[in-house]
Structure 1
């Protein structure tokens, strides 16, 4: 192997990031405030779109083959109580990036396009003052990349609103929302502000190829943060025919086979990147895999004819505040590091990623209210004692109770009522409805012990009144604090 090949091999695989302890010149010139590059882990976040809690073999699916993800879970940490920050895409992504409830950012529902609407929904976007994972990691030397779905602004690739690069992504290859016209041969990707045109292939594999190319083109030994935001298995589903044929004998119909194949294609894409990382000896790489929310309901809208996602044992689906809306598969695997290995039932949220990554990288936490907290203790022995309850206020819920909170073993939920009438569904909070929302009362509470009743089948609010009253009091405080801190959209503000 000649010098040039060796040189590029080192650059591509990032060995310098694990060997620069011996390179004193580089270490002195490229040191973070608290940690050297050698100590800072590379970080990869895989985020699926509408993947259900029961859609992976390792989480109980009886048919879909997900051998690569199952291997990551088996050799890493399988999180059975992992929560997204919302039961729908845009707010979930905003919460993950900021470590804050998406309500604080004013992102309450999925973000549509720019058509003006009376509820100011067309204004909604992740605002420039929000501090994100890539931004704080850049502050301590990381290179950053986003491939896949963005969906955090109503005006994508426009100077009117901040774009991925404004939140710390050095490089981005993304779509506003779904891959169009489907996962196959998408034509709506933007690369660093420039339209790409139609790309042959399937979205999950296309973005993995882009991610690998970005890694190969890295010219420094700096650690990296890579967000891989799959479009799959969100509609419009399109899957490789060989995988569809594999599942046809096992599925109810072709549409279900296409869904099963779609999930396996994601697994294969994850496997490609993990294999690249291992072959490149990128040992100090922390991998997180999850989903933005639960599975879509079959035929909830006309194009959802392939939405055969599984909630597993959970109640509800996407857009619900019952468990299936936001309890999602969670897998963590720290390549090259000795950590706890096995299943953890500790309550972990996508909101926790920012403070966890900050602690691991030596970055300073944003000087603002954070709803997440660092779970670094989980790497030692699988334990994490969450001190902050998780609360969701989703005003467009398909179920009756819009507000829910997970606190320890318990889940409490409530309706919102004004003058003894249920609050109707809202996509957005703005100056035209905020007084009405603030006048609403939490009513008709239910309480579940999720450690004993994962399916939320037995309301224990009457049989355990002392527990109920204690959690109800905390719930009311948490909801008021969240509502008081929520961003309200005002036109021409």
Structure 2
């Protein structure tokens, strides 16, 4: 079996895939009479939305009619993983196509005034799509609150948003164009913040409807505090959290309506997802753990819907394991552009998953708590080695309690089947060791995993 590092997508492989995808797309579109322009890409990213908060993923507490309709018109990715279980490393992974340990953004979240951020020379999807694409980042950023770490330092033509979560102070509303020495700053109107983000996104779409564009609409909700706009306050039986999710649902509808009004419906791939699982409120949909948990799915596995009429079949569902790191190589492939030079990509081109309901291109996904590898997920199996116990990230591996889960039979990760499948356990442990060998040299800080004292209870290592 190939080592993990060699299984990461090389930039030559992505370019070859991009050329092949472009040739095929041109032929198919010509046959269908579809526009031959490069596709637009829109990522609508929520902050702390849970797997079980949407009707399309089994939620019943909150009404989400526009997202449910988006799911009927596109594809539901049931086994989509955020790149991390907290926002800064997750957003770094989505933007760069790499696990955050490669970019130096894995160690927790950035707070106001943090001296660093995502390095200016680190490749991003926005930079990769230039100069063919107009690019904008609207909403929450959380990858550095000052130059040279702002969106306009990473390939975005324009930026309107907040530098970090809206519970952090002081909270400026920043606005900048590429080349500006510093962003313009104004005060935040909390109840109308998400509405402002949506209006800016609509304006960007209108202004760039005649050329390909890439738009990040990264909402700062439903992260606490939940402050819905006036027209949604008090409407949900799920309280303020539900009000905000209903507001998000309407924002998605407005964006899709704007694309259709501009004649861009079939030319635009829209992705809706979350940066990680739910925090104090929200539903993990029966998944184990929540935001900033250990190696279990509730912090990583989040809703994901992808829509592009004529390209993605309506009503499709896929259980292929995919992750936010996949969007960079996928967008580049579909746009027919080369990736800029840089570190190995961990993401894969998932265009075959989206357009043909194909199998996952991943041999495995690696889950991290900061810089520690804590779990490995393959299409069927999940191996978890660490979880929070009290204030420590406790090792299950060194306690001798192997946690192997059959994800086809036990989505909630309730029962380890290590004793039933020793061969699978050995293979998953080998995968984890290869991942450690790949990523440990990139570590910038100490491990969070605590080695337990040796147990005195006979037979405790039995599964």
Length-normalised TM-score, structure 2: 0.80
Q: Which residue in the other structure is 1:301 paired with?
A: none
The CA RMSD measured in Å over matched residues stands at 2.8
Where structure 1 has 5 or more consecutive residues not aligned to the other structure, the ranges are 1-36, 115-121, 252-256, 298-307, 427-436
Distance 1:44 1:315 in 2: 30
Asked whether the 8 Å contact 2:72–2:314 carries over to 1, the reply is no
Alpha carbons of 1:163 and 1:380: their partners in 2 closer, same or farther (altered >3 Å)?
closer
SS of 1:136's partner is: helix
Superposition pairs of residues 320-469 of structure 1, within 5 angstroms: 320=293, 321-337=295-311, 339=313, 341-367=315-341, 368-395=343-370, 403-415=374-386, 424=392, 444-469=401-426
Asked whether the 8 Å contact 2:78–2:318 carries over to 1, the reply is yes
Q: CA deviation at 1:221?
A: 2.9
Distance 2:260 2:44 in 1: 16
Alpha carbons of 1:200 and 1:315: their partners in 2 closer, same or farther (altered >3 Å)?
closer
Alpha carbons of 1:267 and 1:188: their partners in 2 closer, same or farther (altered >3 Å)?
same
Alpha carbons of 1:462 and 1:200: their partners in 2 closer, same or farther (altered >3 Å)?
closer
Q: Which residue in the other structure is 2:36 paired with?
A: 38
Moved over 6 A (4+): 440-443
Alpha carbons of 1:124 and 1:406: their partners in 2 closer, same or farther (altered >3 Å)?
farther
Asked whether the 8 Å contact 1:81–1:346 carries over to 2, the reply is yes
1:395-433 per-position Cα deviation (integer Å, ceiling 9, x unaligned): 49xxxx9611111211111139xxxx999569xxxxxxx
1:113-155 per-position Cα deviation (integer Å, ceiling 9, x unaligned): 23xxxxxxx444111221001000114x0000010000001xx
Distance 1:240 1:194 in 2: 24
Name which of 213, 217, 221 aligns with 2:210. Answer: 221
Q: CA deviation at 1:393?
A: 2.2
Q: Which residue in the other structure is 2:427 paired with?
A: 470
For the pair 1:145 / 2:136, whether they are aligned, the reply is: yes
Alpha carbons of 1:181 and 1:466: their partners in 2 closer, same or farther (altered >3 Å)?
closer
Q: Which residue in the other structure is 1:126 paired with?
A: 118
1:19-54 per-position Cα deviation (integer Å, ceiling 9, x unaligned): xxxxxxxxxxxxxxxxxx933100000100000000
Q: Which residue in the other structure is 2:223 paired with?
A: 234
Name which of 122, 127, 145 aligns with 1:135. Answer: 127
Length-normalised TM-score, structure 1: 0.76
Distance 1:295 1:204 in 2: 18
Asked whether the 8 Å contact 1:145–1:225 carries over to 2, the reply is yes
Alpha carbons of 1:171 and 1:149: their partners in 2 closer, same or farther (altered >3 Å)?
same
Asked whether the 8 Å contact 1:181–1:236 carries over to 2, the reply is no
Superposition pairs of residues 288-299 of structure 1, within 5 angstroms: 288-297=271-280
Alpha carbons of 1:366 and 1:452: their partners in 2 closer, same or farther (altered >3 Å)?
farther
Q: Which residue in the other structure is 1:10 paired with?
A: none
SS of 1:377's partner is: helix
Alpha carbons of 1:277 and 1:152: their partners in 2 closer, same or farther (altered >3 Å)?
same
For the pair 1:205 / 2:180, whether they are aligned, the reply is: no
Q: CA deviation at 1:471?
A: 1.3
For the pair 1:315 / 2:315, whether they are aligned, the reply is: no
Q: CA deviation at 1:338?
A: 5.3
Asked whether the 8 Å contact 1:179–1:188 carries over to 2, the reply is no
SS of 2:431's partner is: helix
Distance 2:310 2:186 in 1: 36
Distance 1:469 1:406 in 2: 14
Asked whether the 8 Å contact 1:149–1:177 carries over to 2, the reply is yes
1:186-207 per-position Cα deviation (integer Å, ceiling 9, x unaligned): 9721000111334485222110
Asked whether the 8 Å contact 1:96–1:354 carries over to 2, the reply is yes
Distance 2:391 2:49 in 1: 29
Distance 1:136 1:442 in 2: 45
